[in-house]
Structure 1
Amino acid sequence: MHRLFASVRKKGRLLRSLKLTFSHTGSLLLLLLVSGVFSCREDVDKSQLETYEGPIRTSHQMVLLHSDSALVRTKLMADKQLEFRNGDNEFPEGILIHFFEKDGTLSSTIRADRGYYDRKNNLYRGEGDVQVHNILKGQKLSSEELFWDRARKKIYTEKFVTVEEPDRVIKGTGMEADEGFNDYKFKKVTGIIDNVL
């Protein structure tokens, strides 16, 4: 009987020893597998990685109101707005800006096929078919590019411009005006056509 117990104890120690061996072998095998995965990885040249420059946020049917002394002075609308990490914005489907008088009357509008906002310079730029309409004076401006400087409350361009007034049409290159398109001046006038009607 004593031999039987000794034999069972011996087998028990052997089983415990085997369990420990399998346990250590499993850990060792896992460690070898993990180190093998990482050692096979090629080093990446970080200079070859490109920084993502695309938009970080997209908005649809966007409306932005600017107020002065609790009165809405401008209303900016766009079907699509792309916002970038540096704070710049792009309006790939066009932009429409309404300007209001102090009494709330809509005085003028700017419409462009594409729009951009430069946050650093607080400057909007319209491209494509750009139209400015002074509703109160019946004046219209057409150009292929126009800038709106919010801080200076000015609109300007270096491109070719056509201004239609009720009694004449003026064509020229380069123009600056107040943001409401009330007073403007050309850098170079290329033609004036009086309306005979």
Structure 2
Amino acid sequence: MVINSLSVRQLYRQIFRNEAKIVPSGVVIRHLLLVVIVVCNFGCREDADESQLAFYEGPYRTSFKVELLHSDSAIVRTKLMADKQLEFKNGDAEFPEGVVIHFFDKEGELSTTIRADRGYLDRKTNIYRGEGDVQVHNLVKEQKLNSEELFWDKAKKKIYTEKFVTVEQPDRIIKGTGMEADEGFNEYKFTKVTGVINNVL
């Protein structure tokens, strides 16, 4: 099909609404080719397969040097500290660089500490989990606990684990599997005691 110069000019005028200006046919053809190429690119574009689109499940917020306080009757009861906190869309949190929790007695004095290499919060159950080298220290009774995993149920005010546990007291060391205690680590009980060493100090 042959397009003469006059019909090209008329088409160009209709597209660009420029009735007064005559443009050389070579320029008009170049403009038309550009329009055709752009239209073809959009027309040939395939729709994205939504099933292949990955949903982001990582943290949506990162906080540093975190301190979370919980008070009762104007007295601080617990204090959670972490160098880094990752928060997720469902409310869960992660403390990849470690976590420290302080517990205070009725007078507001520090009584117990929990330390872990890594920490996690399940928002749905409101239960914290410590992993790695987990240590609990009751400063009043001078007793220590060590395990590789420990849970803190904030609502029930208790700590527990199903892993191997070592408890050090001034007069003995107790080893066992599984343990439950109040969050202040004042009273505790083992699921299974595997060994006791008396008069170590």
Aligned to 1:123: 127
Report the Cα offset of residue 32 of structure 1: 4.7
For the pair 1:23 / 2:27, whether they are aligned, the reply is: no
Q: 1:44 aligns with which of 48, 51, 54?
A: 48
Tell me the residue number matched to 1:76. 80
Equivalent runs, 1:30-109 vs 2, <5 Å: 32=36, 35-109=39-113
**C-alpha distance in 1 between matches for 2:168 and 2:54:** 48
Q: What stretches of structure 2 of length at least 5 have no aligned partner?
A: 1-9, 18-27
The answer to whether structure 1 residue 112 and structure 2 residue 116 are counterparts is yes
Residue 185 of structure 1, CA deviation:
0.3
Query: Is this contact kept in 1: 2:149–2:161, CA < 8 A?
Result: yes
In 1, Cα distance between equivalents of 2:66 and 2:115: 15
- Tell me the TM-score normalized by structure 2: 0.83
- Counting aligned pairs with the same residue, the percent is 72
RMSD: 2.3
Q: CA deviation at 1:68?
A: 1.6
Please give the per-residue CA displacement for 1:2-38, whole angstroms capped at 9, x wherever unaligned: xxxxxxxxxxxxxxx7983461589987875554332
Distance 1:188 1:18 in 2: 91
1:3 is aligned to: none
Structure 1 residues 71 and 33: CA distance shift in structure 2, 3 A: farther
Matched, 1:134 2:151: no
Matched residues, number: 182
User: Partner of 1:4 in structure 2?
Assistant: none
Distance in 1 separating the partners of 2:42 and 2:64: 44
Runs of 4+ in 1 over 3 A off after TM superposition: 17-22, 24-35
Compute the displacement of 1:46 (Å).
1.0
* Structure 1 alignment gaps of length 5 or more: 1-16
Moved more, 185-194 or 29-38: 29-38
Tell me the TM-score normalised to structure 1 length. Answer: 0.85
Deviations 1:141-191 (A, max 9, x none): 000000000000010000000000011000000000000000000000000
